[in-house]
Structure 1
Amino acid sequence: MTHSVRQSGVGLIEILITLVILAIGLLGVASLQFVGSFANKDAISRTQSELVAQQVAERLRAAARAATVGDGLVVHNDYFSADTYNFAKLSCSGGSHPYKCFCLSRPADVPNCEDGECNEAEMAEYDGWSLSCSAVQTNPLTVLSVSCNDNKAGDPDVCSAGSRVEIMLQWPVSSSANRQYTLNNRCNPAEGDSFACVFKDITL
């Protein structure tokens, strides 16, 4: 006569093992989603910045005029002033997203160059505001800069005819264990900087 040995608790152990495996899998999925969200945000910032850099180039060419010194085209000096971009001369008491703060309607301090006639300085100010709005539309931390590698000092133009205009949009990034950024030296001139960027060089 045989006796069967009863086993108890086997079902519970199997359930616990299944739960542990499931938890590990869910943690992996959560990690992928976390990393993916950063990658997606960076891709959106980069795509928008590419579009804005092209818009800047088009605005500069539209505003260009014949140089009084030398042969070629130049734009008003205010296009190369840091105060022209990133709402530097505007204030918002709300402290909210800069697009909501400055761009949903034209601030009173920005010239109305859509319905009225503007001189060169006013047009530069209006363009700077409009382009800055485009820059922060998807990422509020994006910064726009327009500079010039001037090839002729001493003339009245900050960016003399034939000089290289440098357009850059940059935004802060941070590396993690799962995502490492290869930082471009041009976007990060100072030690400790951590920016991604889009840049475009043109000649008027």
Structure 2
Amino acid sequence: MKHVKDNHITSQKGVGLIEILITLFILAVGLLGVAALQFVGSFANKDAISRTQAELVAAQVAERLRAAARPATVGDGMVVNNAYFSTSPYNFSSLSCTGSTQPYQCFCLSKPAAVPNCENNECSEQQMAQYDGWALSCSAVQTNPQTTISVGCNDNNSADIYTCSAGSRIEIILSWPVSSSGNQKYTLNTRCNPSTGTSNACVLKDITL
């Protein structure tokens, strides 16, 4: 009796190369999404820290100005020394450093010799303005070394001896450069970017003494 040998197709078992490649592709797409989220999140976190610190420093600037205010000798109201509205006390513009490139480490870990010591000694109004400008600039760059301070005034009486006459509006601006990236988009304030081509975020505070 002749036996006929049957051909049986053996079914595949286990995981094949195609399944592994598909799994790796899905995993890679997921990891890229997480990486992109972290990248965008880091920008948002940095901006949030810079904005929070700038808000605190802007309030400190206003407090220093009010503490330095005195009655005007010409007219009525309160004024501060003209040196507070000069650029030299702020952003370490009148200081030099040959050490660290980071402004906080360079200028703030110890008081530069050119800055008057107004903590233990009596200072004139101009010296106090220089000291306050240095101290406030140190606070500004503590979390973001690119943050700058600007203190200006819309003077309502240019004929008197004051850069900012009594009753004038004082403008305090703390700004830092930003760039739009991914889903992080910035709406730029024209008061922070008076020149075309600049891209700065800022905190603004307007006060009257």
Q: Same fold (TM over 0.5)?
A: yes
Amino acid at match of 1:66: P
Residue 11 of structure 1 corresponds to 16
1:13 and 1:178 map into 2 onto residues whose CA distance is: 34
Residue 103 of structure 1 corresponds to 108
Q: Say whether 1:174 aligns with 2:179.
A: yes
Q: Say whether 1:148 aligns with 2:157.
A: no
2:14 and 2:156 map into 1 onto residues whose CA distance is: 83
Contact kept in structure 1, 2:40 and 2:182, CA below 8 Å: no
Contact kept in structure 1, 2:188 and 2:201, CA below 8 Å: yes
Residue 163 of structure 2 corresponds to 158
1:25 and 1:151 map into 2 onto residues whose CA distance is: 60
Structure 1: runs of 5 or more not aligned = none
RMSD: 1.4
Q: With structure 2 as the length reference, what TM-score do the two structures score?
A: 0.94
Q: How does 1:17-166 map to 2 (within 5 A)?
A: 17-166=22-171
Q: With structure 1 as the length reference, what TM-score do the two structures score?
A: 0.96
Amino acid at match of 1:14: E
Describe the SS at the equivalent of 1:4: coil
Describe the SS at the equivalent of 1:82: coil
Q: Highest CA radius of gyration, 1 or 2? A: 2
Describe the SS at the equivalent of 1:197: strand
1:8 and 1:193 map into 2 onto residues whose CA distance is: 63
1:31 and 1:177 map into 2 onto residues whose CA distance is: 8
Describe the SS at the equivalent of 2:205: strand
Residue 198 of structure 2 corresponds to 193
2:195 and 2:38 map into 1 onto residues whose CA distance is: 32
1:168 and 1:77 map into 2 onto residues whose CA distance is: 18
Amino acid at match of 2:158: A
TM-superposed deviation, 1:70: 1.3
Alignment coverage as a number of residue pairs: 204
TM-superposed deviation, 1:178: 2.3
